[in-house]
């Protein structure tokens, strides 16, 4: 009897140790890495080659990520961040944390690039939407969604010229859903690293050659919409 008791106790202890309770909440950090021409972005110093072959030195790179959601596509569990607006800046914030979210094996992340219509219609806001962020238009209501500034040189020229991309307007608010299968496990703190590829602003579906532009300060109009279409897909991906 005593041996049987010890055997049962050992079995219960084994089961207890191997069936640890999964915490009800967990944290997930979202990190961003910026690349251009396959290399880490460096501002104000290093010259990179654009897809068109033109030399480019970046001076500023900022963009909004908003309305972040994590989705478990198998169970339907969805976590939606409240007041979800993040200004990602090469010279500043390049990560944010989703804290105390319901535990689940999330396999998708959804987000917007830019600022949605509700918040884009007003500029008296705080946090990452504070107008002092230098992401608000001076001449029209609303936010700049993606900003890239720098200097470029064509292979046949010696003088450096300015390139300014300030992309906004409701039509250029784009949404993405990315596969994060296996990167977020229930009950465990996780890190998702996203890769933002500046080359994609100039590639698909609209190839853009800077020296062929009539005006290299793009702040609206058809060329801004072309850039918006380009960052709708492929601009941000999951780092493997």
pLDDT digits (tens, 9 = 90+) for 50-73: 998 999 999 999 999 999 999 999
Q: Does residue 201 belong to any structural domain of this protein?
A: yes
| 167 or 10, greater pLDDT | 167
Average pLDDT on 14-18 reads 44
Burial of 72 per CB tally in 10 Å (0-12, 13-18, 19+): middle
Task: Give pLDDT, residue 156.
Answer: 63
pTM: 0.89
pLDDT at 7 over 60: no
CB 110 within 8 A of CB 175: yes
Average pLDDT, the chain: 90
Please tell me the predicted confidence (pLDDT) of residue 57: 96
Strands 190-197 and 25-36: parallel
- pLDDT for 20 beyond 50: yes
Asked whether residue 48 is assigned to any structural domain, the reply reads: yes
In a domain, 178, yes or no: yes
Q: Is the pLDDT at 99 greater than 60, yes or no? A: yes
Does residue 222 belong to any structural domain of this protein?
Answer: yes
- Encode pLDDT of 138-153 as tens digits: 777 799 999 999 999 8
pLDDT average, residue stretch 200-224 = 92
Asked whether residue 3 is domain-assigned, the answer is no
Report CA dihedral (114, 232, 194, 80) to the nearest 10 degrees.
60
Is the pLDDT at 10 greater than 50? The verdict is no
Count structural domains, the chain.
Answer: 1
Range of the domain at 226: 26-238
Q: Confidence class of residue 212 from pLDDT cuts 50, 70 and 90?
A: confident
Q: What are phi and psi of 168, to 5 degrees?
A: -150, -155
Residue 6 has pLDDT above 60, yes or no: no
The reply to whether 104 falls in a domain is: yes
Which pLDDT score is estimated for 140?
A: 75
pLDDT at residue 214 is higher than 70:
yes
92 falls within a domain: yes
Find the mean pLDDT for residues 142-167: 88
pLDDT band (50, 70, 90) for residue 16? very low
Residue 96 within any structural domain of the chain: yes
String of b and e for 150-184 (b: at least 16 CB within 10 Å)?
A: bbbbbeeeeeeeebebbbbbeebbbebeeebeebb
What integer pLDDT is reported at residue 5 of this predicted model? 42
What is the reported pLDDT for 139? 72
pLDDT at 157: 62
């Amino acid at each position: 009897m005593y041996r049987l008791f010890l055997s049962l106790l050992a079995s219960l202890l084994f089961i207890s140790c191997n069936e640890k309770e999964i915490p009800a909440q967990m944290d997930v950090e979202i990190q961003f890495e910026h690349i251009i021409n396959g290399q880490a972005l460096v501002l104000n110093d290093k010259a990179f080659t654009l897809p068109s072959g033109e030399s480019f030195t970046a001076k500023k790179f900022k963009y909004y990520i908003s309305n972040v959601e994590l989705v478990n596509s198998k169970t339907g569990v969805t976590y939606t961040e409240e007041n979800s607006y993040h200004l990602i800046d090469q010279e500043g914030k390049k990560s944010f944390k989703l804290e105390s979210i319901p535990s689940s094996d999330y396999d998708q992340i959804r987000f917007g690039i830019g600022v949605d219509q509700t918040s884009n219609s007003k500029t008296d806001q705080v946090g990452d939407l504070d107008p002092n962020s230098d992401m608000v238009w001076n001449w029209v209501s609303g936010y700049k969604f993606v900003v890239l500034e720098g200097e470029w040189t064509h292979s046949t020229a010696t003088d450096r010229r300015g390139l300014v991309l300030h992309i906004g307007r409701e039509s250029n608010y784009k949404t993405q859903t990315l596969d994060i299968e296996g990167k977020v496990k229930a009950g465990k703190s996780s890190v998702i690293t996203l890769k933002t590829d500046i080359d994609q602003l100039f590639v698909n579906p609209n190839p853009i050659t800077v020296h062929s532009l009539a005006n290299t300060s793009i702040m609206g109009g058809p060329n801004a919409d072309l850039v918006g279409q380009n960052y709708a897909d492929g601009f941000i991906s999951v780092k493997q």
